[in-house]
């Protein structure tokens, strides 16, 4: 009498059991590495580059509206305001990426606020020529995008072409 007969387990059953253990182990290992890769990707996107970036001499006069990526946020209780302004910015040639309520839920008192990082300064100047005088808030972002946050005193986009006088 063999050991497998004695314990009621055939060699085929043991082989299936081993394959199952190996398969589950490989799946768990792959999930671990996928999570590790995603985490490292997110951390790399959040940290500024360690290498020095060449200084840019781009001014608002050198940019076209389609070169500026804009996010439009509504910080008022007026429904549909961000969508209306986003439509107007698209008609003027801007690249509108996000239209939503203000994710920071800021309590604004004026016409609105432009949020951007240092790389987006010239884009913010171009947007400012379209939306009118907005408060400006420079943040730590490394992208060139500009957030247009609409305040309670916002009464519409300025007429005419976008941009500052060049």
Per-residue pLDDT tens digits for 59-69:
657 789 999 99
Whether the Cβ atoms of residue 95 and residue 162 lie closer than 8 Å to each other = no
Per-residue pLDDT tens digits for 130-142: 998 899 999 999 9
pLDDT > 70: what percent of the chain?
Answer: 80
* Best CA proximity match to 60, nearest among 51, 52, 68: 68
pLDDT of the residue at 4:
53
Distances (CA, A) of 99 to 41, 74, 86, 90, 115: 25, 8, 7, 12, 14
Cross-strand pairs, 146 = 70, 116
* pLDDT at residue number 54: 43
Q: Is the pLDDT of residue 162 over 80?
A: no
- Is pLDDT of 166 > 60? no
Q: How confident is the model at residue 161 (pLDDT cuts 50, 70, 90)?
A: low
Least Cα distance to 58 among 71, 49, 67 occurs for: 67
Distance set, CA 166 to CA 32, 62, 66, 125, 130 (Å)? 54, 9, 18, 12, 14
Residue 135, token pair as written in the block: 């408060």
Q: Using one digit for the tens of pLDDT, what is the confidence trace for 99-127?
A: 999 999 989 989 999 999 999 999 999 99
Q: Which residue has the tokens 């941009």?
A: 163
Q: What separation in angstroms does the CA of 161 have from each of 66, 73, 143?
A: 13, 22, 25
| Percent of the chain predicted with pLDDT > 90 | 60
The pLDDT, as a whole number, for residue 165 is: 56
**pTM for the full model?**
0.63
């Amino acid at each position: 009498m063999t050991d497998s007969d004695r314990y009621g387990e055939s060699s085929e059953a043991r082989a299936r059991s081993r394959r199952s253990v190996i398969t589950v182990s490989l799946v768990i290992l792959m999930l671990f590495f996928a999570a590790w890769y995603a985490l490292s990707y997110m951390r790399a996107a959040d940290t500024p580059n360690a290498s020095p970036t060449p200084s840019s001499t781009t001014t608002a006069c050198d940019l076209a509206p389609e070169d500026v990526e804009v996010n439009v946020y509504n910080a008022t209780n007026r429904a549909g305001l961000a969508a209306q302004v986003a439509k107007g910015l698209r008609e003027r040639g801007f690249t509108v990426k996000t239209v939503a309520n203000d994710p920071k839920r800021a309590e604004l008192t004026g016409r609105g606020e432009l949020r951007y990082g240092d790389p987006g300064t010239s884009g913010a100047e171009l947007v400012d020529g379209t939306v009118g005088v907005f408060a400006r808030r420079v943040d730590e972002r490394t992208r060139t995008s500009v957030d247009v946050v609409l305040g309670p005193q916002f009464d519409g986009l300025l007429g005419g072409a976008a941009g500052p006088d060049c």
